[in-house]
Amino acid sequence: MIRRLVLLPLVSTVFFAGIAGAQEYPLMNMVADRVIQKYQQSSCQQLWQKKGKPKTDEEKNAIQLLHDDPQMRTAFINKIAAPVANKMFECGMLP
């Protein structure tokens, strides 16, 4: 019972922080949605082929924005982590 009382506020805080981060950065939210969509719609073979290719200028700019803003980077990673990691696991890209 005590564990539930401790975990509930922690989980609530993380959940609402994720929602706030997504609303605070609408452009990042759109980019994250595109990344998630790319992983969900791509076959494993397509992902393996794209893995070694150089990044486009658009991708480089987005990455630079994430390097420059740690809060935006945290919101981005919180949004894409589960769907991307699951797809990578399914494709044998993660142990």
| pLDDT tens digit sequence for 36-90 | 999 999 999 999 999 889 989 999 999 999 999 999 999 999 999 999 999 999 9
Q: Is residue 55 part of a domain?
A: yes
| pLDDT tens digit sequence for 6-42 | 444 544 444 444 455 456 899 899 999 999 999 999 9
Q: Indicate if the alpha-carbon torsion angle 84, 86, 88, 90 is positive or negative.
A: negative
Q: Is residue 7 part of a domain?
A: no
Structurally, the chain folds into a number of domains equal to 1
Domain of residue 42 covers 19-90
pTM for this prediction: 0.70
Q: Is residue 14 part of a domain?
A: no
Q: What is the pLDDT, as a whole number, of residue 13?
A: 47
